[in-house]
Amino acid sequence: MKASPRDYLAITAALLAILLCGYGIGFLVGERTTRLRLAPATGSNQIHPDWAEATVERLARELALSSEQQAAVAKEVRQTATAIGTARYQAIRQYRSALIDLHQRLLPHLDAKQRNKVEDSRKQLQLSLDKDGKESEHSNK
């Protein structure tokens, strides 16, 4: 029995559906694990606390560093971790400020019900921005 063009079309459609489902599941699972692994504490200007230690250990192992070199490398990595944390904190604040500005610019284009929703979202962003600012002030003291 010979396969008809309709059979080939059905097989192609089934393979395409399997491919798309696999891609979608892989994307969702990959996205979730990436988010969990890379997500630092909110509002903190510190990157993951184990990052600097793990980086120094990896460099010491791969480069066969002496103890003096390892101490110097550890100092440099700690300084870099602090700079990265500060840049991350500033970027998050800038991002949230831009979103708050966007919410303000959207308001004239919306009806009353929509404005209330956007206003609630804007207030939540403003609270998180204010909270992060206060936490930063306390950590700088």
Q: What is the pLDDT of residues 35-75, one digit of tens each?
A: 434 334 444 555 666 888 889 999 999 999 999 999 999 99
What's the whole-model pTM score?
A: 0.51
Q: Bigger pLDDT: 23 or 44?
A: 23
Per domain, the residue ranges of the chain are 1-39, 43-140
| pLDDT at 32 exceeding the cut of 90 | no
Q: Which residues touch 35 (CB under 8 Å, ≥6 apart)?
A: none
For position 28, what pLDDT does the model report? 75
Residues 6 or more apart whose Cβ sits within 8 Å of residue 60 = 70, 73
State the Cα–Cα distance between residues 130 and 140, nearest whole angstrom. 15
Percent of the chain with pLDDT over 90: 33
